[in-house]
Amino acid sequence: MATCHGVEVVATLVAPFRARALPWDTFAPTTPGGLALPALGTHGASRRAMAILVTGGAGYIGSHMVLCLVRAGRPVVVVDNLSAGYRELLVEGVPFVHADIADGATMRDVIRERDIDAIIHFAAHTQVAESVRDPRLYWSGNVAATLNLLDAALASGVKYFVFSSTAAVYGEPERCPIDEEAPTHPINPYGESKLTIEQALADYARAYGMRYAALRYFNAAGADADAGLGELHHPESHLIPIVLQAALGRMSEVVIFGRQYPTPDGTCIRDYVHVLDLADAHMAALDDLRCGGDSGAFNLGTGTGHSVAEVIATCREVTGRPIAVVEGERRPGDPPVLVASPERARRRYGWEPRRSSLERIVRDAWAWHLREAAKSSHEPETRKAHAQHR
């Protein structure tokens, strides 16, 4: 592991997209083939390539975001406290600061030293059930810590903030597809914590001129297996990775949380969106803000829903493996249908979730699971070593 002004530069990930581990002021964006990219700043705000801070860049969505930024030749630095992120998801060559976003002094130093003008903020607790059990984690880790980060950002002149929000801000919606004008009534501390920060951002934008986009994800899924990135959570609670673990034989069966919902096959319907499409939307949101686009909230989904039973059927088809299912109790707080209207993001950003067919999502996620399974069969200690990686 090299260091650069006290910042770790990760050199572990085998990926064809090797960012150059250079001091910030000499960073020259290059394509993987080494061709010079056009100078950044075509948005008119600046001709100079300002750096982007990604908090939570060692997590599932954050790591894919970093990959996209590196592929686009954008200077990027990652901050992660590794409480829910993994060193193995850090993208090679990208400066990494092992710190907590609540640590204002460190955040101010990173922002100033790395010449950061924009933050894409993923670092957060994201488990709904945990938020009900232990809400303090969410008020402290998601709300208070983000307010500290915003203080550091304002004190250091950061102009743009892209916030990882969630469809959970809508709670149990009255109608679907859900557009951004739908009432926000979160039904758990996780959704409340995200909505609270959205409200703070609206106030800060009005009072201090910071510009922001709050991106409300529906169901993030999929992977970039070629780059060694995928959905890694401990414990795992999300449907697609759980079904694929069953396909790998790591679980004997999948429990379907309720089969008597008012949907065509009785199972819940969700809007699954490929994690690389999510990353594209963040990039588009940032470019839009830098072009002078208005602050606001945007849904990121496809507009099409799939039931739990359909997801399992697609997983059977893609993997070619049997997957046993049993019916279980409903999970508290699960609305029958959650489907986005992504029209606002489409119109404003020209965003198209083009990788988000269910088949493609499952195929990409499966490729990553197979890769991980092969890795752990060769290196049986890898999984056990997770705690040490943190």
Task: Assess 130 for contact with ligand UDP (CB under 6 A).
Answer: no
The answer to whether residues 366 and 244 touch, using CB atoms and an 8 Å cutoff, is yes
Q: Judged by CB, which is closer to ligand UDP: 159, or 270?
A: 270
The pattern of x and - marking residues 269 through 308 that bind ligand UDP according to CB under 6 A reads: -x-------------------------------------x
Task: Assess 256 for contact with ligand UDP (CB under 6 A).
Answer: yes
The rounded distance, in Å, linking the Cα atoms of 130 and 140 is: 14
Task: Assess 236 for contact with ligand UDP (CB under 6 A).
Answer: no
22, 151, 257, 266: which one binds ligand UDP (CB under 6 A): 257
State the amino acid at position 8 in one-letter form.
Answer: E
Query: How near is the Cβ of 272 to ligand UDP at its closest, in Å?
Result: 9
Query: How near is the Cβ of 388 to ligand UDP at its closest, in Å?
Result: 28
State the amino acid at position 231 in one-letter form.
Answer: E
Task: Assess 259 for contact with ligand UDP (CB under 6 A).
Answer: no
The rounded distance, in Å, linking the Cα atoms of 303 and 200 is: 28
Query: How near is the Cβ of 191 to ligand UDP at its closest, in Å?
Result: 10
- What residues does 255 pair with on adjacent strands? 326
Task: Assess 268 for contact with ligand UDP (CB under 6 A).
Answer: yes
The rounded distance, in Å, linking the Cα atoms of 105 and 97 is: 13
The rounded distance, in Å, linking the Cα atoms of 312 and 255 is: 11
Count of residues in contact with ligand UDP, rule CB under 6 A: 14
Residue nearest to ligand UDP (CB): 268
Query: How near is the Cβ of 265 to ligand UDP at its closest, in Å?
Result: 12
The pattern of x and - marking residues 181 through 220 that bind ligand UDP according to CB under 6 A reads: --------------------------------------x-
Task: Assess 242 for contact with ligand UDP (CB under 6 A).
Answer: yes
Of the chain, the end-to-end C-alpha distance in Å amounts to 15
Task: Assess 72 for contact with ligand UDP (CB under 6 A).
Answer: no
The rounded distance, in Å, linking the Cα atoms of 256 and 266 is: 10
Interacting positions 306-335 with ligand UDP (CB under 6 A): 308, 331, 334
Per the residue annotation, which of 160, 170, 190, 217 is the catalytic one?
A: 190
The rounded distance, in Å, linking the Cα atoms of 306 and 28 is: 43
Q: Is 172 helix (H, G, I), strand (E, B) or coil?
A: coil
Active site residue 170: no
Task: Assess 169 for contact with ligand UDP (CB under 6 A).
Answer: no
Q: Judged by CB, which is closer to ligand UDP: 55, or 188?
A: 188
Give strand ranges (E) for the chain.
Answer: 2-4, 7-9, 51-55, 76-80, 95-98, 116-121, 160-166, 211-217, 219-221, 254-257, 269-270, 272-274, 296-300, 306-307, 325-328, 337-338
The rounded distance, in Å, linking the Cα atoms of 303 and 284 is: 19
- Contact positions vs ligand UDP (CB under 6 A): 219, 237-239, 242, 254-257, 268, 270, 308, 331, 334
Positions marked catalytic:
190
